[in-house]
Amino acid sequence: MKRVIDMRRTVPSEPRSLSALLKGDEGAITVVFALCATLMIGSMCTAIDTIHYQMTQTRVQMALDVATLSSGVNLMHYSATTGSSLAQWQADARAYYNANMPSGYMEFSMPDAQFSATVTGQPSTGQTIKLAAAGSAPLLAPIIFGKGTSSGNSGSGSGSDGSWPDKVTITASNTALRMPQSQLELVLVLDNTGSMADSASSNSQGTKIQGLRTAATDLVNDILGVQNNNSYIGLVPFTTMVNLGSSLLSSGSWMSPTFAYNPNNVYMTAQSGITGSGWGGCAVEPRDAGLSLYPKAYAPKDAPGFTPFYYNVPKTGFTVTTYKSTSKGSSNYCVVQSKKSVAGVPLTVQSNGSTTTCGIGTGVGIAEAWGQASQTNPSMRVYDQNGNVNGSGSPCSIAPVKFLTKDPTTLTTAIGNMQAAGSTMIPTGLLWGWRMLSSDWSSSVSNGNGWVSTDKTLPRPETTQGLQRVAIVLTDGQNDPGSANGIMPAPSFNGLTGVGSSLLKAPTVTRDDGTSLSNGSTTSVTDINAFQLAVCTAMKNDGIIIYAITFGSDASSSVAQTTMRGCASPGNYYHAPTNATLDAIFQQIAGNLGVLRLTQ
């Protein structure tokens, strides 16, 4: 049987025509793939175009915002805004824009003709600056879909006839208000505590209180020395207290002369023959029925109101025991000469002596009242109703506040009267600085119960156009209420907690560890710091710009600097190790207090 082998070779078929390919299954798949790939790539290009547009538009707007602010500052160099001066100012504005918009960014281009800068108004009444920019950037999508081809709709990204455009137009604009006549209300909240009597550093530059007086005086002159300015500056010296002096009337409804810890027998005005009687100018923060404190500015009409600060005047008075010395044989003895019940008067405490010269003896503490002359032995320390010791000292003998004024002489005189004495309670100063910037405390809003001023509209309403409300707070260390021991323990006698209590009950405030300050104490620096930061946050939320400064080597601790940094508005914290540095910082802040702001 023979096998037959077919020796013929397979010959490739002839290539099919395009029409034949399209009619086959393979052709259909190819067409579908091509269409899908085109759509996918086109969609990716469209997405990339969208991202490029957003990035470019954001960058253009940012550069224009910077150019507008810079142009506003630049206006001070021009006496006129017409003719060649206007042309040069406009060229400067474009240069500011170019400096912040990289050339060729995302292939964006903008001809000079599509950049505009205008200024209207007069320096005396305010100037409005407007900048606008328009340019174009190429698109990727038309490369895929074809230039001028139909986009299938007339929506965003297509030309007026529904075709894909080659480029996208990007625009930006803004408006700024420049008020050369500064609508500035500035309050200086300044540490006047005992440590300010020390030197700021090892370099011999004088004491810190001297350096502070110089720096604050220079700042006042820098701001109020500008001709035709419309700036107001106030002063709030602080220790654990703030002395309101005559800037707020004791007869105003903002303060109640009747209060829980002494509802009777307290003299609000000086009484004849009673040394140290009458209200000394320091007030206690409002507390609700549960004795809770809150980081609030309050208002004169609010309840509960403020109460006057008094030191150790018992509700029902106290008994004055007067001793005299008598002799029996070779020995001297003290016998009771008289006893008298006294209410609402200064308190004299016998501090030393001996059994042979009418010494203090067991349980004998009060020897006299009214601050009158006493025996040479034993010596006496007189505490009047305001806490002053022998007519001077702490805590309400601090230099009084000075309400907002345009008079530099009045301010610099008040600054020059600041002295170093007492302990530190920074939130007390901040709270009264806040009230000096709160329109609720103006005499016109409070019906005469607010700040004493010839201009009853101060502080201005917070909505006043171009108004800047600024507080500068300075301390040379962290909060330090003083010792909890002694005849008059400082933590129990301050503007936060009142008289005779170290309680710092602030249920809306939390510590760093998240625990509530509902059981806080002024003996705890951590608790005072937490309350201070709550006050600063509330002030900033109210629209107040805060500059915070730590001063001297005593303020180099991380706790002090961290607290003050947290108190400041972003970027507004400074540390001044020396008097010279403090002066430079104050001058820098004075230069920063411009009144140029974007309004659109």
Q: Which range is most confident: 92-106, 111-125, 283-297, 428-442?
A: 428-442
pLDDT tier, 49 (very low <50, low <70, confident <90, very high otherwise)? confident
Residues 6+ apart with CB under 8 A from 459: 185, 404, 436, 437, 438, 439, 441, 442, 451, 469
Peptide linkage before 395 cis (omega within 30 of 0): yes
pLDDT of residue 410: 97
> For 248-277, what is each residue's pLDDT tens digit?
998 899 998 877 666 665 678 877 766 667
When mean pLDDT is compared across 83-87, 201-205, 579-583, the lowest value belongs to 201-205
| Residue count (the chain) | 600
Stated as kind and residue range, the H or E segment containing 137 is strand 126-138
> For 292-339, what is each residue's pLDDT tens digit?
999 999 999 998 899 998 875 555 555 656 666 666 666 666 666 666
Using left for φ > 0, alpha for ψ between -120 and 50, and beta otherwise, residue 543 falls in left
For residues 120 and 127, the answer to whether their CB atoms sit within 8 Å is yes
For residues 581 and 574, the answer to whether their CB atoms sit within 8 Å is no
pLDDT of residue 162: 52
d(CA 269, CA 414): 24
Residue of 493, 400, 394 whose CA lies nearest to 190: 400
pLDDT of residue 447: 94
Residues 6+ apart with CB under 8 A from 394: 239, 240, 387, 388, 421, 422, 423, 490
Helix axes 579-592, 208-224, angle to 10 degrees: 20
Residue 418 φ/ψ, nearest 5 degrees: -70, 135
pTM attached to this predicted model: 0.67
pLDDT tier, 90 (very low <50, low <70, confident <90, very high otherwise)? very high
> For 400-453, what is each residue's pLDDT tens digit?
999 999 999 999 999 999 999 989 999 999 999 999 999 999 999 999 999 999
> For 133-157, what is each residue's pLDDT tens digit?
998 888 766 656 665 544 443 334 4
pLDDT of residue 383: 67
d(CA 517, CA 531): 8
The CA-CA-CA angle for residues 497, 500, 505, to 5°, reads 30
d(CA 476, CA 497): 23
d(CA 270, CA 345): 10
Residue 278: is it exposed, middle or buried by C-beta count within 10 angstroms (0-12/13-18/19+)?
middle
**% the chain with pLDDT above 90:** 42
When mean pLDDT is compared across 426-435, 462-471, 524-533, the lowest value belongs to 462-471
Mean pLDDT, range 160-174, rounded to an integer? 75
Q: Is the model's pLDDT at 568 over the cut of 50? A: yes
pLDDT of residue 103: 83
Mean pLDDT of the chain: 80
Per-residue b/e over 11-26, b at no fewer than 16 CB within 10 Å? eeeeeeeeeeeeeeee
pLDDT of residue 354: 42
The HSE-up count of residue 471 (CA atoms within 13 Å, CB side) is 33
Mean pLDDT, range 22-29, rounded to an integer? 58
Q: Is the model's pLDDT at 221 over the cut of 80? A: yes
C-alpha dist (Å) from residue 231 to 123, 141, 362, 380, 384 = 15, 56, 60, 49, 39
More confident residue, 233 or 64: 233
